[in-house]
Structure 1
Amino acid sequence: MIYTSILPPASTPLEKALEQAAASVLDFATPVRDVWSPAHCPAGHLPWLAWGLAISHWKTGWTIERKRAAVADAIPYHRRKGTRQAVAEVLTDHHPAFQIVEWHEANPRRTPHTFEVRAPAAEISADFLTVAKAEEIIADIAVAKPARAHFDFVQNLDLTSGMFMAAAGMSGTVARSDYGAIHDE
């Protein structure tokens, strides 16, 4: 880095030495404007940038591209946070088969400001939906949902089956006679 002094020409040798020492300590390889840019931020600084933008659903196992996308979407996400759309996006990130049923859509109607997240067992493999994964999904929903809303996480299995009825009949007469011997004495 080219060092340019910001001190006036009449500064003392001590001031110049302190400026040189501070310049070597504060010499950053990455300009601050790049640290705040999701596209240019060094990969090692992305978790700090996510923390600075209050990304609560950050996963360390994500790819760098996914992390950059989450940081780039942080401000629009906070605008959507607390809406059905935010909950739907969180669920889609985990698996597209999840369904949301709000209180007014249920039959019979449920308590106001409640909803149900359904995980159809026929479409989601048992290997995917483990206890740890379910807890992770529930935690992500709790962050994205409206603060006043309560929810149930339900794994359901809808089965359909045809019912067949058959009958058989037979007519006939059954006569029974008991014959016994009578003895005279």
Structure 2
Amino acid sequence: MNSLLPPNASELERKITQVGKAAFDLPTIRVVKDIDDVPSQFLPFIAWQRSVDYWDESWQDSLKRNVIKNSREQHRIKGTAAAIKRALEPFGYEVKLIEWFQAVPNLIPGTFNLELDLIGKSLNQEVYNEINRLVSDAKAASRHLTNLTITTNPILTIRNILVHQTAFTFSSEPKA
């Protein structure tokens, strides 16, 4: 048995060491080389260490690992159109960002439109709030979202057979 006890340790000290030995058999992380090999209970600590801006314990492990892996790059490009796209893509959304100078006719300088396709995922208030939060965190403070268009393609099944797929589009643009 490996022990840090001195040779003149008492019998009581040796028994206490034997009983407490199991505490040192827990998985530890000394050096993280590959996020995919890290036990899932350590992911929140690594996310904090790598300055992940937002973390949700209800996410699947694969999404948590993806967010951690992309954290450094996300901080490097924060405030750009690419940052907005990268913030939304891990959630499986198709993203099209149209900046003010790309729109026809041109929008107000410093604004942009965002078109999202949820690709079979449902749209509810929680998803909508999450999208707005991700966009707000990733965009430059001087940029403003003028129109958010979300397209969702719910897939309906009856007895495990695909029977209908219709696209629904929701737009935040005010009606004229």
**TM-score scaled by length of structure 1:** 0.59
Question: Closer, same or farther in 2 for the Cα pair 1:40/1:144, shift >3 Å?
Answer: same
Answer yes or no: is the 8 Å Cα contact 1:35–1:41 preserved in 2. yes
The letter for the 2-side match of 1:70 is V
Aligned match of 2:138 = 144
SS state at 1:51 partner: helix
Residue 77 of structure 1: how far off its partner (Å): 2.2
Deviations 1:128-159 (A, max 9, x none): 2222211110101111112321113423759x
Question: Closer, same or farther in 2 for the Cα pair 1:28/1:37, shift >3 Å?
Answer: farther
**Counterpart mapping for 1:168-179 below 5 A:** none
- Give the structure with the larger strand fraction: 2
Question: Closer, same or farther in 2 for the Cα pair 1:37/1:4, shift >3 Å?
Answer: farther
Gaps of 5+ in 2: 151-168, 171-176
Residues matched between the structures, number: 143
Taking every aligned residue pair, what percent have the same amino acid on both sides? 24
Answer yes or no: is the 8 Å Cα contact 1:35–1:45 preserved in 2. no
Gaps of 5+ in 1: 159-185
Residue 95 of structure 1: how far off its partner (Å): 4.6
Answer yes or no: is the 8 Å Cα contact 2:97–2:112 preserved in 1. yes
Select between 35-44 and 103-112 the one with higher mean Cα deviation: 35-44
Answer yes or no: is the 8 Å Cα contact 2:67–2:90 preserved in 1. no
Residue 103 of structure 1: how far off its partner (Å): 1.0
**Counterpart mapping for 1:10-159 below 5 A:** 27=24, 29-34=26-31, 38-119=35-116, 128-155=122-149
The letter for the 1-side match of 2:130 is E
Distance 1:74 1:53 in 2: 7
Distance 1:141 1:111 in 2: 19
Aligned match of 1:169 = none
Residue 69 of structure 1: how far off its partner (Å): 2.4
C-alpha root-mean-square deviation of aligned residues, in Å?
Answer: 3.5
Question: Closer, same or farther in 2 for the Cα pair 1:89/1:65, shift >3 Å?
Answer: same
**TM-score scaled by length of structure 2:** 0.62
